[in-house]
Structure 1
C-alpha cells in the first residue's frame, strides 16, 4: 500500500477508453496512479432499460451507443425511486447520449465532469490523504503505478506544496497584442528563488520553461494569468516554435473551455479568488494585496508607464516593477491559498477548479458528495428564474451618532434553516398537521424527519463549534491553532452559502419556497429583536439583513457593552438565534439602506456601500469622498467637509489636477462591438479599436470625458490615445491626426465630485446650493 496526498485528478484516453489519473505526493515526491476500472455514467428515470439500449447517436467518429444499463433503487428528494444507471465507453459520449435520451425520459447527473464523478463515487478528496493498492509500475518520465484500489485516508494539516508565481510584461504602446507586441520580461518567484528574465524574447520563453521544470512547482499562481498571461505566452511561444512542455508528464499546457491546464500541476488564478472577496470592490492586484496586507513596496512607475520607461532606456524601472508584481502575487498566494486548501478538501475537487468556482457551484459539488453517501440522485437545475422578497431593512436614522454598537445575528439564516427544518425534501405543498409554517409566505415544512439541508448544516455547525472549542485551549501562535482557524473559517463560508444557494436558479437543489421561508423568518426575528431592544430603552438606528445598530442614553462604550450583553441574553431566551456584538463605533453615520461609514473604537474607518468603494468613479471623486468621510467622523465638522469640497471644485476650474485624477475605469464584459448600448467605456474602446488598440474581455478601459456636444458616451476618449494634458487641454491621437479637446470640468464637478459627496452631506441638511453658500452649523444639529 502507498499512502500519499491527493493533489489533482484528470483522465487520458487510451484505446478509446478513459483512464483516470491520480496526481499524488508522498515523501519521495510526486507520482501518478492510473485507474482503468471506472466507467462514465449517468441516470435515467421514467423508461425501460431496453429503450435506452436502443439509442444510437451518429457522429463524425461513428455511431455512439450506451455500453450497458443497470436497474437500481435510489432516492429523489428523500423518496424511493427506481432508476437506470447508463454507462458509456467514454466521457465525451455522455452529453451526446444525454441529449437523445432527454427526448423521451428524464436524465439526471449527466453534466458532472468525469474526474469529479470519480472523486465523488470513490469518496476521495483532493488536498487529503489517499491509500493506493498498486498492481504494477508504469514506465514513463515520472514515478507511476497501475492501481487495483484506492481509498481516502484523512490527514491532519496540509501537504507541503511548492508554489511558483509569475508575471509578464509586454512592450506595447497601447493594449498588448500577442500577434506583434513582444514579451520583454517575465518575473518568477518560487520559495527562495526569484529572477527577472529579460533580453532576447526567445531566451526569455525558453528560460521560463526551464525554470518551471527545474523548480518543479506543485502550484503555479498568477493574477489574471488564465485570461491574459498564459494565452499571451502560448501565442508568443508558438511564434518561435517553442514548446511549453511544462506538464509533469512533459505534455504541453492545454486550454479547456478557455482555462489553462497543466498536467500534474495546479494552475491557480488568484484573480478568481479575489472576485469572491466582497469587501474589495476594485479587483486589481494592488487593491486586493493592500486589503490583505500582502502588498510589497511602492513603485516608481505604474503599469501604463512601462512603454515610456522602456523607450527612454529606463529598463531597470521596468524590471523592478515586474519583480514587485510577482512578489506581491506570491505573498497574495500565501494569504489566500490555505483556506482554499481546506475548501478543496471539503468540496473534494482540485484546488485550481475550486478557486474558479463561484460559491453556488462550490455548494453544489459539496451536496453531490453528501447525496451520494445516502443514495440520493441529485435533481436537475431549474430552467426558470424567480424572484422573492429579501431581508428586512430598517430605514436608517439621519445625522451622526456617537457610541454605537453593531449587533450581529451570527449565522442567522443557517440557524433558521435548522430550527424550522427548511429543505427541498421537507417542503409540503398540501395540507400538513405537523409542519412549521413560515410567517407571511405560509410555506410549510415537515417537523420530522430531519431534511437533507438540516442534517448537513447541523454537521457543519457542530464541526465548527468543536474546532472553536479546541482553539480556546491552544496558543494562538501555534500551528495547530492556525490550522483549526483556517478550517473553521472555511466551514463558516460554506455554511453561510446555503441560504443564497437555495434561491440560486442554477442550483441543483434550487427551492424558491426554501429561500422565501428563510427570509420571512429572518424578517420576523429582526422585527421582534427591534421591539425587544426598544422596550429596554435602546434606540435602534438601523437594521440590515442580519444586524442591528443601537445606542442607549449617551452611554460610553464600556457601559454600552454591559447593556448590550443584557439585551443579547433577553433576545436569546425568546428567539432561537444567536446574537453577538460585532463592532463598537465611536462615531457613525448612515446615508441610506446598506450604506454607512463609521469610526470604530480601535480607530478604524469602516465604509459600506458608498461610491468610494466602487470602481466606476474617477480617482479624484473617490479621494474627495474619502476625505469628506474622514473630516466628518474624526473632526465632527460638516462645515469643514463642505469647504474642502468647495476648494476641490475651485481647483478643478483652475486646472490644478493631473490626467490620472480624471480617469474612470470600467470593465468590458464582452467585445466592444457586441454591446447594443454604447456606454462611455464602450465608446472609448471603440475609438481605441479605430487606432488598432484592442481590449480583451475583462479588461478595464480607462477613459476621460471631454467638453463638447452629444452624450457623455460620445465624449469619452481612452487614455491610450492621450498624448499630453496641461490641466485643461488634451492632445488626442485620432485617425486623422492630433486633435485638441478640453477636459469637461463641468462633467467632473456635476457628475463625479458632487454626487460622490452630496449623498453624505445631504444627510446633514445640506443641498447642492450649499456648495456655494455655507451656513455654519454643528454636526449634532441633525441628530
Structure 2
C-alpha cells in the first residue's frame, strides 16, 4: 500500500520498471489478491483496481533470433515503461520512443512493447489508409518462379570485399548513409513496382537480374520512406549544431529510432508474412547495392586508393597518407558516380583486421578494431562487443583494447602488445585469487525452444531444465544467466548452475581463464600470438601448474 500512497502523492505521468511486465506487476497483483486488498491497489489515475494479466506471453521469431514478450501491463492515465522488455527504449531512450510513437501513430505504452517490425508495419498501414490504398488481410502473393541459375544470381545478399588480415595505417572508413532505404526511395523499389504488369518494357531495370521497375506510379514503400529519410537528415544536422548542449543527445536518440525503422523496412521486403513484402523487391535492393559498392570500389582504385575491406554499405580505403580534403574529394566523386551520398566516417591512426581464431588464418568479414585520429576506439564483432560474453571476459578484452589504443602508429602498436598482455595477466590473476564478483562470471543465453524440447545437453538446455525443476516458468526467447562451475564434469548438472542458484563463488577457474586467453588471441592473432603462445606468456610466473590442474575455485 505504500506504493499506492506514493503514486497518489507524487502523481507521476511515466512509471519506469525493470521487469514490470514479467514480474513486478503480476506479483503485486497476486499478493493483493491473496491478501484480499485488490480493490485498494490503484496504480493508474483512473479509480479502478489494478488487475494483473493471467495470460502467457508470446514467443516469436525475428531475424534469426527467438524473442519472448511478456503480457503487457498498461496503467490507465499513466504510462508504464518496462525497461527490461522494451527494445526501442533500450536502444533509443525515451526520446526515441516518443519519436517512434509519434511517427507510427500508436500509443506510447503500446510502442514501448512493440518490435521495430511492428512499429514499421503500423507506419505503412497508416500511410496506406490515409492514401486510400487497399491493405491485404493476409499476404497471398507467391514468389515468382526462378530457374536454379536465376535463383543463384538473385539470392546473393550484399557486397563483401574480403578483408586483408593485419594492421593497416592511413586507412579511412567511408559509408553510404541510409544505403538501402535511399535506394528503395531513389529507384522506386516496392512490391507493386517490381515486375509490374503495366511496364514490362520499362527502361528502369534492376542490374544483374533485369527485373522491370514501374514507370507510371510511385510505389508505397518509397512514399513511406521519404518523410522518414528527410526527418532523420534534419535531426543529424541539428545534432551537429547542438554538440555543446543537451539537445544534441535528444536529437541523436530521435534519429536512432528513425534509423531502426529504415533498417527494418528493407528486411520486411523479404519477410514472407509482411503485408507489403515481396522477395523480388528484396532481391532488387541487394542487386542495386552490389552494383553501387562495386562502382564505389572502382572509383576509389582509379583515385589511387586500395580497398582493404568492404561490407554491404561501407568501404575501408587505404592511401598514401591521405589528407582529409582528399578523402572528402573521393566521397564526392563516389557520390557523383553512384548517384548516392557517401560520407567520411573517419580516418584511422591504425586498423586491425584479425583472422579467425585457430590455425585456419581465414579472414572474418564482420570483425575489426581500430582507433580514429581523434582517439576514438571502434570495434566490431569481438568478444567485448558480443552480448553473450560474460562480463569478466568483456572487461579483460576491453582493457587490452584500451592499452593498444594508446598507440599512434604501427611501431607503437607492436610495442604495446606486451603491455596489453600484462593487462590481460592481471585479469587472469583476479580470477585465480577469487577477486571477481560472482555476477561478472554470468554467461547470458537466450532460449531457442521450450526447455523440454532440448535433446542435447548444451549448457543453455541444462540451465533451463534446472530452473524448470525449481518451478520457474520459461519460454522461447527468454534469457537465462548461468555460471560455468565444472565444464568437463560427466554429470551435466555439475557443469553449470543458474546464477540465482549459486550461493557462493563457485566457478570453473580453468574455463574462464581459457576464455580470457582466447579473447587475447582474437585481438592479436595477426601478429603471431596464438592461444598457446599467450598462455605461456601469461602463466610463466609459476601459474602454469595450477591452470593445467584445472581446479575449480570455491570460496565462501
Whether the TM-score (by the shorter chain) exceeds 0.5 is yes
Taking only aligned residues, the RMSD between alpha carbons, in angstroms, comes to 3.5
Within a 5 Å distance, the mapping from 1:128-167 to structure 2 comes to: none
1:716 alignment counterpart = 496
Within the candidate set 255, 261, 270, 2:83 is matched to 270
2:338 alignment counterpart = 575
C-alpha distance 535-645 of structure 1, shift in aligned 2 (>3 A): same
Bigger share in strand: 1
Determine helix, strand or coil for the equivalent of 1:634: coil
Within the candidate set 215, 219, 227, 1:447 is matched to 215
Looking at structure 1, the residues matched to 135 and 234 of structure 2 have their Cα atoms a distance apart, in angstroms, of: 30
Looking at structure 2, the residues matched to 253 and 626 of structure 1 have their Cα atoms a distance apart, in angstroms, of: 45
1:248 alignment counterpart = 45
Larger gyration radius, structure 1 or structure 2: 1
C-alpha distance 353-388 of structure 1, shift in aligned 2 (>3 A): farther
Cα drift, residue 341 of structure 1: 1.7
Cα drift, residue 485 of structure 1: 6.6
Looking at structure 2, the residues matched to 475 and 353 of structure 1 have their Cα atoms a distance apart, in angstroms, of: 31
Cα drift, residue 496 of structure 1: 4.0
1:259 alignment counterpart = 72
Cα drift, residue 608 of structure 1: 1.3
Looking at structure 2, the residues matched to 701 and 382 of structure 1 have their Cα atoms a distance apart, in angstroms, of: 39
Cα drift, residue 462 of structure 1: 3.8
Looking at structure 2, the residues matched to 761 and 219 of structure 1 have their Cα atoms a distance apart, in angstroms, of: 47
Contact 2:451 2:461 in 1 (8 A): yes
Higher relative contact order (CA 8 A, sep 6+): 2
Looking at structure 2, the residues matched to 405 and 663 of structure 1 have their Cα atoms a distance apart, in angstroms, of: 37
1:617 alignment counterpart = 389
1:227 alignment counterpart = 22
Q: Does 1:515 align with 2:282?
A: yes
Looking at structure 1, the residues matched to 169 and 106 of structure 2 have their Cα atoms a distance apart, in angstroms, of: 48
Within the candidate set 471, 485, 490, 1:705 is matched to 485
Looking at structure 1, the residues matched to 298 and 325 of structure 2 have their Cα atoms a distance apart, in angstroms, of: 19
Cα drift, residue 590 of structure 1: 2.0
Cα drift, residue 493 of structure 1: 4.1
Contact 2:457 2:492 in 1 (8 A): no
Q: How many residues matched?
A: 491
Looking at structure 1, the residues matched to 460 and 256 of structure 2 have their Cα atoms a distance apart, in angstroms, of: 38
Within a 5 Å distance, the mapping from 1:475-514 to structure 2 comes to: 490-514=257-281
Looking at structure 2, the residues matched to 445 and 400 of structure 1 have their Cα atoms a distance apart, in angstroms, of: 44
Q: Does 1:432 align with 2:200?
A: yes
1:160 alignment counterpart = none
Determine helix, strand or coil for the equivalent of 2:15: strand
Unmatched 5+ residue regions in structure 1?
Answer: 1-205, 279-334, 731-742, 775-783
2:7 alignment counterpart = 212
1:404 alignment counterpart = 171
2:31 alignment counterpart = 236
C-alpha distance 220-506 of structure 1, shift in aligned 2 (>3 A): farther
Looking at structure 1, the residues matched to 406 and 21 of structure 2 have their Cα atoms a distance apart, in angstroms, of: 43
Looking at structure 2, the residues matched to 688 and 491 of structure 1 have their Cα atoms a distance apart, in angstroms, of: 39
Q: Does 1:767 align with 2:547?
A: no
C-alpha distance 657-372 of structure 1, shift in aligned 2 (>3 A): closer
2:300 alignment counterpart = 533
Looking at structure 1, the residues matched to 344 and 72 of structure 2 have their Cα atoms a distance apart, in angstroms, of: 43
Bigger CA drift: 613-622 or 224-233? 613-622
Cα drift, residue 377 of structure 1: 1.7
Cα drift, residue 670 of structure 1: 5.9
C-alpha distance 396-276 of structure 1, shift in aligned 2 (>3 A): farther
Cα drift, residue 226 of structure 1: 0.9
C-alpha distance 388-355 of structure 1, shift in aligned 2 (>3 A): farther
Contact 1:611 1:622 in 2 (8 A): yes
Cα drift, residue 208 of structure 1: 1.0
Cα drift, residue 350 of structure 1: 0.2
1:694 alignment counterpart = 472
TM-score (norm: length of structure 2): 0.78
C-alpha distance 504-223 of structure 1, shift in aligned 2 (>3 A): farther
Within the candidate set 76, 96, 121, 1:339 is matched to 96
Q: Does 1:666 align with 2:430?
A: no
Contact 1:423 1:452 in 2 (8 A): yes
Deviations 1:513-534 (A, max 9, x none): 1111101111111111111111
Deviations 1:197-224 (A, max 9, x none): xxxxxxxxx1212222333333222122
Cα drift, residue 227 of structure 1: 0.9
Determine helix, strand or coil for the equivalent of 1:446: coil
Q: Does 1:748 align with 2:528?
A: no
Looking at structure 1, the residues matched to 491 and 312 of structure 2 have their Cα atoms a distance apart, in angstroms, of: 39
Looking at structure 2, the residues matched to 679 and 663 of structure 1 have their Cα atoms a distance apart, in angstroms, of: 16
Looking at structure 2, the residues matched to 627 and 483 of structure 1 have their Cα atoms a distance apart, in angstroms, of: 30
Deviations 1:165-218 (A, max 9, x none): xxxxxxxxxxxxxxxxxxxxxxxxxxxxxxxxxxxxxxxxx1212222333333
Looking at structure 2, the residues matched to 707 and 488 of structure 1 have their Cα atoms a distance apart, in angstroms, of: 44
Contact 1:680 1:713 in 2 (8 A): no
